[in-house]
Amino acid sequence: MERLKLVLQYFQSNSESISNGICIILALVSVKLYTSFDFNCPCLPQYNKLYSLGVMIVPPIILFFLGVLVNRHTGVMMDEWMRPTGNRSKNPAVVKYLFSAMLQRALLAPMVWILVTLLDGKIFICAFSVSVDPALFSGLPNSTGLEVIKIMAKVPCKEDVIFRNSSFRKAVSRYIRCYSQAVGWSILLFLIVLGAMGRLIKPYFDDHATGLQTRYWSNYLDVEQKLFDETCVLHARDFARKCVVQFFEDMREDAILRLPHPPFISNFQDEWEDEEEERLHGVTKQEQVDQLLNKWYYSKPELDVTRIAHRPRTCVTWKDRDGKTLYSDV
């Protein structure tokens, strides 16, 4: 249970971890879909390859675009690429980094699908059974009067009557499956070696400081957008509360019940109103909200927080009658 909590905390820590978790889930879904998929080869010379290529190519394309769709890097990258320059210049390195991260995660599920189909071998048998030379195997059924190419096209169909009590179909299937698994393991080995070599060689050709800067600002864009969205949600909630309260205040009858008003209620109400005004940030009209959102898109603030980071604060110092400092928070 503790390990499960640690895993969940990792995937909830930041958007990159969430994207990794979604991509892993998509990869597992692709495996589950393949194992649940009812693969029925048409066993016809003119359709076997077409059907096999469809099963091999179409699902990975769907999984790829699904990975692009659910990846948060996609939205951040497109926002940074398409936004007007405004007060903040664009960084092509950050866009390139986000595109690379999005592409790597989106390709995981399609590659898993392709590797699983190759290691299983059914699609290879359906696609290339016609291309195998039947002379390499003994026991070719020739009592049915069918052409050899049609007999070879029926190799994936083990229920066919022409292969009853015949070892020919099993021999051809094993032969093609060996090639399919060899191709699958070769692709997997190539990807692992490519990834390892990339990790080993990259430090020699890449500036580590530049890489840290690119990674920092890509994470900054993601965090900035999330904080802006959260602030907009809080503002919208307070703005809606104010509108509703104001509506009911306007509909209230003019009759007023005059009673003594305790001062602590007035103080509490003033504090509550001040807190509400602080959350609204002085934006209290629809035109102001539209202007704020328009300015956020067309003129992002420059990356300089010196003014708010060094704004003056009140410092308190206590002295005795002789002027000696007793306490100071300076």
Kindly report, residue by residue over 170-186, the tens digit of the pLDDT: 899 999 999 999 999 99
Among 76, 135, 73, which Cα is nearest to 104's? 73
DSSP state for residue 161 in the 8-state scheme: G
User: What is the structure's pLDDT at 213?
Assistant: 92
User: What is the structure's pLDDT at 264?
Assistant: 47
Q: Tokens for 254, please give them.
A: 């003019």
Beta bridge partners of 327: 318
Rounded distance, CA 327 to CA 119, Å? 75
In three-state secondary structure terms, 226 is helix
Among 214, 11, 202, 196, which Cα is nearest to 99's? 214
Which residue has tokens 């003119």?
Answer: 46
Report angle CA 102, 105, 109 to the nearest 5 degrees.
Answer: 135
Q: Tokens for 123, please give them.
A: 């699609």
User: What is the structure's pLDDT at 313?
Assistant: 61
User: What is the structure's pLDDT at 52?
Assistant: 92
User: What is the structure's pLDDT at 11?
Assistant: 47
Beta bridge partners of 264: none
User: What is the structure's pLDDT at 6?
Assistant: 53
Query: Which ranges of the chain have pLDDT less than 70?
Result: 1-17, 142-145, 253-279, 308-321, 326-330
User: What is the structure's pLDDT at 180?
Assistant: 95
User: What is the structure's pLDDT at 54?
Assistant: 93
User: What is the structure's pLDDT at 303?
Assistant: 86
User: What is the structure's pLDDT at 160?
Assistant: 76
